[in-house]
Structure 1
Amino acid sequence: MALVKACKQQLQAMRDNGWDVWLDKVSSFCGKHDTDIPDMNDMFVARGRSQCRVENLSNLHHYRVDLFIDVIDKQLQELNSRFNETSTKLLLCVACLSPNDSFSTFDIEKLVRLAQFYPKDFSNMEFTFLEDELKNYIFDMRLHNKFSALKELIALHKMLKIVKNPHRNRMGDQWLNDSLVVYIEKEKYGVPNDME
């Protein structure tokens, strides 16, 4: 998000104060390649259009306003629509899950806010315990050295043991619970292999 913010600021600065620098670069390029440079004070002549219908615009207005500023405005508009206030908050919250630098960006408050973006996925009871569960989670993650070298969410995903694998993703939580109880009791009471 810092890069997006910096990009928006640079585009805005270019829009406000970058025309002269850009025009100098274009003029230099045209000079090196023997390309004609239009006089910015001349009237702009649109190619392929009837001359009687074209507004009287200078080359300066056409190239600066209709092209240079218009392109920058479109880029800013695209960034603002893709990274609006809601999506920016969502991305900042998701960034808190990054395992990089031993989960240095982990932020319980932002992760609780992330969960609030998905009210259908959390019951009131789950929201009540979420903060404590997140404290336990980060304590456990930082306790084990095998998680300290992780850099990306995908690496964290690969490291975690997932009980509900793709073959079992349709089973309900109660049935999964019952299966785990049977498995644990089997280990506890030493059920022979031929009875499995």
Structure 2
Amino acid sequence: MVDVLEITNDLNTILQRKDQDIVNAMHQVRGSKTRLQCIRDNGWELLLEKLSLFCEKNNIENTNMDDPFYDGISRRRGSHVSSLHHYQVDVFYAVIDMQLRELNYLFNEVNTTLLISMASLNPSKSFKAFQVEDLIKMADFYPSEFLKHELGFLRGQLTNYINDVRGDERFSDLKGIGHLAKMMVETNKSIIYPKVYLLLKLALIVPVVTSTVERAFSAMKLIKNDLRNKLGDQFMNDCILSYIEKEVLDDISNEAIMDEFYRMKPRRQM
């Protein structure tokens, strides 16, 4: 657990930073997956060695892995599982596989490619991260916005765009994608390069959509629990909306809510 938590703790710390470079964050995710897989493939024997040394140092009787594993139930019924199988498969592999499944679910190949592609729009350091092919890959994720026959046109527009903004002093000190989109509107380059500006808007939408979905699922787990597992869809949606938009509802007085309720009540009766 210490080895696993060392890997995931560093990753969690990095992902929580607001100023985190997306490319470096994705490399950290891939590195964490690789390290966890390495522990799964080669870490069991090393763990047994550490266990033996710990038991010898503290005068603790070491477990014989060939003995049957007993818990409260299997001791009465007899066990067909060895201690080796229990600790290696049911504990060691299970913990690491749980971590890997979580990382693969949150950062699958599509999500990772999309985030790395979005990083190419970053205007920092004279658009150092800009890569035409990465942005073409990003466009492929939006087939309704970028048709196949338009990708060649997009490639040419991206080339013209990067040459233009790198030579424009107004784009030399931008802090992020949001500032870049604002500057493109102010300089009318959003009209000159409409497809590039569309990529910028899509990149700005992704974090908002992702965080909104995560908040909705978190709220649903709290609201639709074991005691309220028969909530209807409409009532649950209303409860989730109220839970998520707490700041908005705080500005609405109880009197206004009661007035709206009584105003709607005759319609419901009709």
TM-score bracket for the superposition, by shorter chain length:
0.5 to 0.7
Identity of aligned residues (%): 45
Counterpart-to-counterpart distance in 1, 2:133 and 2:47 = 44
* More moved, 21-30 vs 60-69: 21-30
Question: Partners in 2 of 1:30 and 1:150 — Cα distance?
Answer: 58
Residues 1:12 and 2:37 are matched in the alignment = yes
Other-structure match for 2:101:
77
Contact 1:96 1:111 in 2 (8 A): yes
Look up the SS of the partner of 2:63 in the other structure.
coil
Determine the C-alpha separation between the residues in 2 that align with 1:132 and 1:81.
35
Contact 2:124 2:173 in 1 (8 A): yes
- Is residue 137 of structure 1 aligned with residue 161 of structure 2? yes
Runs of at least 5 residues in structure 2 that lack an aligned partner in the other structure: 1-25, 189-270
Cα deviation, residue 107, structure 1: 1.2
Which residue of structure 1 lines up, in the alignment, with residue 69 of structure 2? 44
In structure 2, how many angstroms separate the alpha carbons of the residues matched to 1:152 and 1:38? 57
Which has the larger helix fraction? Answer: 2
**Aligned residue for 2:141?**
117
Q: What's the CA shift for 1:157?
A: 5.0
The CA RMSD measured in Å over matched residues stands at 3.5
Q: Counterpart of 1:103?
A: 127
Residue aligning to 2:87: 63
TM-score, scaled relative to structure 1: 0.62
Higher normalized contact order (CA 8 Å, seq sep 6+, divided by chain length): 1
Cα 1:52–1:129 shift into 2, 3 Å: same
Higher CA-based Rg:
1
The change in CA–CA distance for 1:58 and 1:100 in structure 2 (over 3 A counts) is farther
| Deviation (angstroms), 1:154 | 4.7
Residue 100 of structure 1 contacts residue 150 of structure 1 at CA under 8 Å; is this kept in 2?
Answer: yes
Contact persistence 1:38–1:59 (CA under 8 A): no
Moved more, 68-77 or 123-132: 123-132
Instruction: Kindly tell me the number of residue pairs found equivalent between the two proteins.
Output: 161
Give unpaired runs (5+ residues) of structure 1.
164-196
How many Å separate the matches in 2 of 1:133 and 1:4? 32
CA distance in 1, matches of 2:125, 2:54: 45
TM-score normalised over the length of structure 2: 0.47
Q: Is the 8 A contact 2:68 2:81 kept in 1?
A: yes
